[in-house]
Structure 1
Amino acid sequence: MKDTVTKTDLVFRGAGAGDAAFAADVDTAVRPRSPRDPEVYEYWWAQPDENWVIARFVVSRAGRRVGYAVAQHPRWDVQPERYGTVEGNLLPAERTKATLDVVYASMEERVIADGAKILSAWTNEDDPVRIETLRGRGYKEDRHSRRWELDLVANRERLLAMTEESRSRMKKEGIRMLTLATDDDPNVIEKIWKLSEEAGGDVPTTEPRVPEEMASYTRWVNAPEIHRDRFWIARIGDDVVGVSVLGYPPVRGLVGTEWTATARTMRGRGVARALKCETLAQAIALGVDRVRTGNDAANDPILHINETMGYRLIPGGIQYLRAV
């Protein structure tokens, strides 16, 4: 992928040091109720990915940074269906259908030149400018992602009671609940990764899932928003049978679910609920007032858990697709 291109008065250059934090500022300015963490962005923009080709750009206008853009796709030997993802954002003063159209056009050129056959783009349900832009470029709505917010203050007593009930059930079934920080198994990360790969394959999706290498998973475990003493796992004997993690942005942003998964053999036994309860009880003890989570709209089991815990729906996401 080329590093620099000019479209009308928008200039695209390859992103460098410090640009990820600027991208977090852009996203925060566009959606101030969902602030994004600059330290988290800097960490992830600096990481490689074994199975993805990723090109990130800073968008400038008249010599001033006004936004960012990303063109990415899996390695084609990993995903022969050839989906390419395009994304980007602009500061509110520069953000119009016309300017977003230029951003998408530029990123589309890159993934198509790399061989993409289907284009993918995500937007929030309450972002009419982006939705109008994508529809104008021929994208069609494909999937919905539900997003939820849980008031930990209003639901405190119910959640703590639910946690005690889950602990009692897990104890009776011989399932241990502990944090990654207290687990002394030298192979625990590999076991959690294998469990997550199994569970990831069961998440409803149109776009074929790209496998995650253990090295990539380990980078996530070591990310600044992840704390090993807040990383909950479930065990039966030597086996890891469940995991649930809340991410805690170090600079700004809302605490939210990073990942919850259980082994196929354990589903229906309350393990996911018990793990989520532990993460929420811990968040309450840490003084967190609310948390967020997100799930595919077709993932009925986890949607049911969210509803019974007291989560309320907030604007979710929409995936748009377009054949090349």
Structure 2
Amino acid sequence: MNYQLSETNVFDDYAAIAALQQLVTLSPESAEEMHSAETEPSATVRRRRVVARNEAGTIIGTSQLRLRAPAPDSYTFLVVSVDPAHRRRGAGTALYEEAMAFVRQHESATLITAFPDNDSDAYRFAEQRGFVLDQHWVHFALDLASFDMPRFAQVKQAVQQQGIRFFALADVGNSLEYQRKLYDLNRRTSLDAPGEDTFPSFEEFVEDICTAPWFRADGQIIAADGERWVGLGAVGLEGNIAHNAFTGVDQEYRRRHIAEALTLRTIEYAQEHGATQLQVSNDSRNTGMLRMQEKLGYYPIPGRYVMTKEIE
């Protein structure tokens, strides 16, 4: 079947694009959020959206590229999504080949793709094109209405008795100075976690995280020992769903239940803001965090595979 491919940033196309992404990649983004993110000017990232239309003019597939500024270790993020009802008819291949022709015109060392771990078609499609599995993110959800917070009161008390205090980024100010401290804390606690060996620059962090639609300074919950920031629980809100985007603790402060106390703080935050569910994801190799989430009553939901391909 023949498909018409065209690059787009026209808002009128994004209702169909968002609906397709929600169906295929389980993305929670609305058409407005997606269009805003993809048309926002950036000094470090080029975003490119292509759609495939069938003979009736209906959008049945899309590709999304995010290209980092050229560098020896630069990478490009590519997602190809096709409506399951229109798969195995050439639309995915056409979108992929069009995207690869564009990528080869720009300097990039690595191609990254990601998709739900229950999408066997997507895994097979990527594997056949030379991608290899890099990470398996397992996702969990917590029912906030039934969560028994008093049951864990002693955890927070025990951590505070160690001299650890908790506050939000909003309490000290969401200034560039404190965003730098937040960046340093994220970087330290991320790079020694399973599956993490790279981290963006400060400029990329500010653009990708601190200006993201989900980012809230009052949802960046920090654990400190004196003036030293030693742990972080980051939570964002999307409707009635809250996302625990990251939890990390400095290595020398681990095994003191600080991560658990931070997680409890993120749960409190989500409850206070009317969320009914809190979602979290971890690398499948991070057994410590997985055990803690099981203890708190999280249950599994579809996760995500991340696959990579070196560009020759």
TM bracket (short chain): 0.7 to 0.9
Aligned to 2:241, the other structure's residue is in SS state coil
**Aligned length, in residue pairs:** 309
Query: Residues 212 and 99 from structure 1, CA distance in 2 versus in 1: closer, same or farther, beyond 3 angstroms?
Result: same
Secondary structure of 1:248's match? strand
- Match in the other structure for 1:132: 124
> Is contact 1:56-1:70 (8 Å) kept?
yes
Matches within 5 A, 1:110-259: 110-154=102-146, 156-157=147-148, 159-162=149-152, 164-184=153-173, 187-205=177-195, 209-214=198-203, 216-217=205-206, 220-250=209-239, 254-259=241-246
Give the CA deviation at 1:49: 4.9
Mapped partners of 1:213, 1:261: distance in 2: 18
Aligned amino acid, residue 262 of structure 1: V
Deviations 1:105-140 (A, max 9, x none): 222222233244443322222112212322332333
| 2:256 alignment partner, SS class | coil
Aligned counterpart in structure 2 of residue 283 of structure 1, from 270, 286, 299: 270
Q: Does 1:15 align with 2:9?
A: yes
Task: State the distance in 2 between where 1:166 and 1:221 align.
Answer: 30
CA contact (8 A) 2:48 2:66 kept: yes
Give per-residue Cα distances to partners, 1:211-235, cap 9 Å, x unaligned.
2324642663343323333331122
CA shift digits 1:239-258 (9 cap, x unpaired): 322221222114xx732112
CA distance in 2, matches of 1:117, 1:190: 28
- 1:119-165, Cα deviation, whole Å (9 max, x unpaired): 332222211221232233233333311111222234x11x4422x22
Partner of 2:35: 42
TM-superposed CA distance for 1:294, in Å, is: 0.9
User: How large is the Cα RMSD of the aligned pairs?
Assistant: 3.0
Report the equivalent of 2:253.
266
Q: Is the 8 A contact 2:5 2:95 kept in 1?
A: no
Q: Distance in 2 between matches of 1:214 and 1:266?
A: 28
User: Tell me, which stretches of 5 or more residues in structure 2 are unaligned?
Assistant: none
Residues 315 and 75 from structure 1, CA distance in 2 versus in 1: closer, same or farther, beyond 3 angstroms?
same
Aligned-partner SS, 1:113 = coil
1:43–1:223 Cα contact (<8 Å) kept: no
Compared CA separation, residues 269 and 290, structure 1 to 2 (3 A): same
SS at match of 1:126: coil
Q: What is the aligned-residue identity percentage? A: 21
Other-structure match for 2:286:
299
Shift of 1:87: 0.9
